[in-house]
Chains A and B, each alone.
Chain A
Amino acid sequence: MRVGDRTATPTWSLAVALGGVGLLAWRLRLIGLEDPVRSLVLGFVLGAILVASLLVPVVERRARPRTVVAVTSAGLTVFTLAAAITGPRPTVPWAATALWLSLLAAVAEEAVFRRTLYGVLLRRGPMVAVVVSAAMFALLHVPAYGWVAFPVDLGAGLVFGWQRHASGSWAAPALTHVAANLAAVLR
């Protein structure tokens, strides 16, 4: 495993990760605000989370493109299987801005959970990094979706974490997450 050129202080990296999680949770307070204000604020917040997470140096292996493609394909396959098992979901009339916001949300969430937070937790071992980041990802969505979301989002978080571990990069979970959100909005 190649250590990045620089290593960040764990406490400050954790502060960015937890700050990102807190801001992601705050999105719930924006429900009810009308567009375009809501979309603009959401876009700014998600963009800020992404930028702040990318500023934190983390330990990453140099990912081989072939491995990233293979791990992403594996993730997409298991997500497709899960969609087939669970059956059709009630759809909602998304606003036009929901498409790009859901894509930005997927990338920002992966930057927080599978890049920054995972990077901090990796000092305790990959198992801890995968499980704790997945549990926090699932808990984040409970206030918005109810406890019914916890099992499926815990499972999704475990898959994303495994992808991060197997590929050595957060690109594979980000690509899978983007595809899943895209499918949900376009359905």
Chain B
Amino acid sequence: MTRRTALAGVLVAGAFLVLAWVSAAWSPLGRGPVLDGLGPLAPYRWVNPPPGATDDGAPLSASFELAVDAEGSEPDVLLTPDDQVTLVMDRGAIGPEPGLRSVTIDVTPLDPASLGRLPGDLTAFGNAVRIDAGGVVRFDGQVDVVLLYPETVSLHATRHEILWSVDGDAWRPLDTTDNLATQLAQATIEAPGYVVVGAVPVPHPSATATGEPEDIEGTSTPIVVAIAGAIALIGVGIAVRLRTRRT
């Protein structure tokens, strides 16, 4: 390796660290050295599974103890044991108070049908979640909530948003970062309360004109296109190889 190549490597490494920091500062969903892959997820855990949904057991509630000192609560990332709800608490998310040494954050999944209707044409994607913070009515620092949402053939959307409510009745949409690959939505909340992922359902690419998903053995469009495209690509690759041999 030449000296020039090594120097280029140092510059590239520096640029990468800056760019990784930019993504991470943008959203908690931008954290990590590379955002890649579209691996399948385990089935969603529903409070009240809709008909036909794969039941993977009940979602898990969680309770977290957050230490508070003179500068407020310590920074922490709180994740429920089923990986369906994440709270990213910045330093001082809960402000300091005389005698306050810790605060308990409770995360409880709920059936959205038991709460108020979502505005417009929005449908709840997955469970609603109640977030309690030991009587705290407003956060003093940044708190990001990250919710996993289900994606199925019959419950499909291309854009998801998080809605927040103080009482579970009137919902307000939040500025949301949506991550289809990992089925995660993220938004900043200013106070404890209720959150849910909402979206306007659209037909899945594999749905027929009747709105029903086609049989796997039938002509499910995305599967057929993927397989046909893969076979065609191998064909082009073979053609390139043969063509090269002749020249």
Contact = CB atoms under 8 A, between A and B. Distances in A.
B243 A83 contact: no
A97 B241 CA distance: 32
Interface string A26-38: 1111111111011
B94 to A, nearest CB: 19
A98 interface: yes
B23 interface: yes
A162 B37 contact: no
Contacts of A59: none
Interface residues of B, number: 84
Contacts of B232: 19
A135 B88 CA distance: 30
A122 interface: no
Contacts of A158: 12, 15-16
Contact of B148 (A22, A67, A81, A93): A93
A11 B129 CA distance: 53
Given A83-B33, A151-B23, A45 B226 contact: yes
Contacts of A53: 237
Contacts of B8: 162, 165-166
Interface stretch (B61-69, B97-105, B110-118, B151-159): B151-159
Interface in A121-156: 141, 143-146, 148-156
A82 B161 CA distance: 28
Given A12-B239, A20-B233, A45-B229, A153 B21 contact: no
Interface residues on A, range: 35 or more
Interface string B24-48: 1011111111111111111000000
Contact of A51 (B32, B54, B234, B240): B234
A22 B33 CA distance: 24
A23 B177 contact: no
A152 B79 contact: no
Contact of B179 (A6, A23, A80, A145): A145
Contacts of A67: 1
Interface in B2-31: 5-6, 8-9, 12-13, 15-24, 26-31
A27 B84 CA distance: 23
Given A23-B226, A27-B38, A45-B229, A92 B240 contact: no
Of residues B182, B183, B243, which shows the largest number of chain A Cβ atoms within 10 Å of its Cβ?
B182
A82 B40 contact: no
B59 to A, nearest CB: 11
A175 interface: no
B160 to A, nearest CB: 11
B41 A180 contact: no
7 contacts: A29-B205, A48-B230, A55-B241, A86-B21, A92-B182, A143-B180, A152-B20
Given A26-B222, A89-B32, 6 more contacts: A6-B247, A9-B244, A16-B237, A95-B39, A144-B181, A185-B39
